[in-house]
A and B are shown apart, each in its own frame.
Chain A
Amino acid sequence: MTVRGVLLSLLAEGDRHGYQLKVDFEERTGGLWPLNVGQVYTTLDRMLRDDAVVERGKGDADQRVFGITETGRRELKEWLTTTPVDSTPPRDEFVMKVLLAVQLGGKEGLALIDLQRAALLAELQRSRRDGRPRGDVAALANDAFLGRIEADINWLDRCEARLNEQTKAGKKR
Chain B
Amino acid sequence: MSEQTPALSFVDVVKRYGQGATEVRALTDLSLDVAPGEFVAVMGASGSGKSTLLHLAGGLEDPTAGRVFIGATALDELDATGRAALRRRDVGIVFQRLNLIPTLTAIENVMLPLELDGVATRSARERASEALARVELPGPLDRYPDDLSGGEQQRVAIARAIVGERKLMLADEPTGALDSVTGDKVIELLASLVTTTGCALVLVTHEPRYASWADRIVRVRDGSVVDETRPSTIADEIEARGQ
Encode A106-146 as 1/0 by CB contact (under 8 A) with B: 00000000100111111011111100000000000000001
Q: A125-B212, A125-B229 are in contact. List 15 more A-B contacts (CB 8 A).
A: A114-B227, A117-B219, A121-B208, A121-B211, A121-B212, A121-B217, A121-B234, A122-B235, A124-B209, A125-B214, A125-B217, A126-B231, A127-B212, A146-B209, A157-B45
Residue from A121, A128, A146, A154 in contact with B229 in the complex, judged by beta carbons closer than 8 Å: A121
Which residues of the other chain, B, contact A119 by a CB distance below 8 angstroms?
A: 234, 237-238
Total chain B interface residues with beta-carbon distance under 8 A:
19
Q: Is B80's beta carbon under 8 Å from chain A? A: no
The total number of A-B Cβ pairs within 8 Å is: 49
Which residues of the other chain, A, contact B235 by a CB distance below 8 angstroms?
A: 122, 126
Total chain A interface residues with beta-carbon distance under 8 A:
21
Q: Given A114-B219, A150-B208, is A160 in contact with B45 using a C-beta cutoff of 8 Å?
A: yes
Q: How far is the CB of A118 from chain B (nearest CB, A)?
A: 5
Which residues of the other chain, B, contact A114 by a CB distance below 8 angstroms?
A: 219, 226-227
Give residues of chain B (204-243) contacting chain A, Cβ–Cβ below 8 Å.
Answer: 206-209, 211-214, 217, 219, 226-227, 229, 231, 234-235, 237-238
Taking chain A's interface residues, is the majority helix, strand, or loop, or is none over half, making it mixed? helix
Distance between Cα atoms of A150 and B62 in the complex (Å): 35
Name the residue in B213, B234, B237 with the highest tally of chain A Cβ atoms < 10 Å from its Cβ.
B234
Q: Is A95's beta carbon under 8 Å from chain B? A: no
A122 near B238 with CB under 8 A, answer: yes
